Amino acid sequence: MKENVTEICEKLDNLLLHTLDLMEEKVVTTIQLENHLRDGHLELAKARYIQGKETVGMLRVPQDTPITSLFDLETSYPEHNEDETELNTSSLPRFSINLKDKEEINKIQDPLKWFGVLVPQSLKTAQKRFQESLYLSARISDIGAELNVISKDFEASKEVKNQLVRNSEGESDRIAKLQGEN
């Protein structure tokens, strides 16, 4: 019994350490996301300043055609590997954002063309910053999903540990009672 409690305590410690690593990664990635979004907005402001506030704005977005994304969001659930004893990843979703195929991209009008043929470099840079922020958002979602799975695994392991401790305490009380009778 002591070995089982010890193994579960080690598993709980490992889960907590992994949680701290993931939380640190999430904070760092969130800061990167904020920086990319801030830089993207600043580049948009530069483009508005260069071209004028009338040429870069929502009034230039076409209202008659549907707006289609250049990216695809895919959610996958990886197969459970026998090697992964630490974490149940079968219920862990993975989010990936991919640029669409070249054929599909050719059908979609590049959003930069909405603002003219010769757009300023700052507008192109803003587009790149916002695209990079999409990838970071997917990574933050992956980390959040993994944190949720770890939290559930932690609670389940904690419950098993509490049961084992209660059972061992009950057995020690019974042994003490038997020794008191002798």
Q: What mean pLDDT comes out for the span 119-123?
A: 89
Residues 74, 141: Cα–Cα separation, whole Å: 12
Answer whether residue 16 shows pLDDT above 90.
Answer: yes
- Whether residue 1 contacts residue 168, with contact meaning beta carbons closer than 8 Å, is answered with yes
Answer whether residue 81 shows pLDDT above 50.
Answer: yes
Q: How many CB atoms lie within 10 A of CB 3?
A: 7
Q: Would you call 14 exposed, middle or buried from its count of C-beta atoms within 10 A (0-12, 13-18, 19+)?
A: middle
Tokens representing 53 are 């506030």
Return the higher-pLDDT residue of 47 and 99.
47
| Predicted pLDDT of residue 98 | 82
Return the higher-pLDDT residue of 67 and 173.
67
Secondary structure element (H or E) that encloses residue 93, with its range: none
Q: If phi over 0 gives left and psi between -120 and 50 gives alpha, with beta otherwise, what is residue 52?
A: left
| Predicted pLDDT of residue 60 | 75
Answer whether residue 46 shows pLDDT above 80.
Answer: yes
Return the higher-pLDDT residue of 114 and 182.
114
Residues 105, 84: Cα–Cα separation, whole Å: 39
Q: What is the pLDDT of residues 152-180, one digit of tens each?
A: 999 999 999 888 888 877 666 666 666 66
| Predicted pLDDT of residue 1 | 46
The candidate with the shortest Cα–Cα distance to 90, out of 139, 136, 145, is: 145
Q: What mean pLDDT comes out for the span 34-52?
A: 92
| Predicted pLDDT of residue 176 | 62
Q: What is the mean pLDDT of the chain?
A: 83
Phi, psi dihedral angles at 96 (to 5 degrees): -135, 140
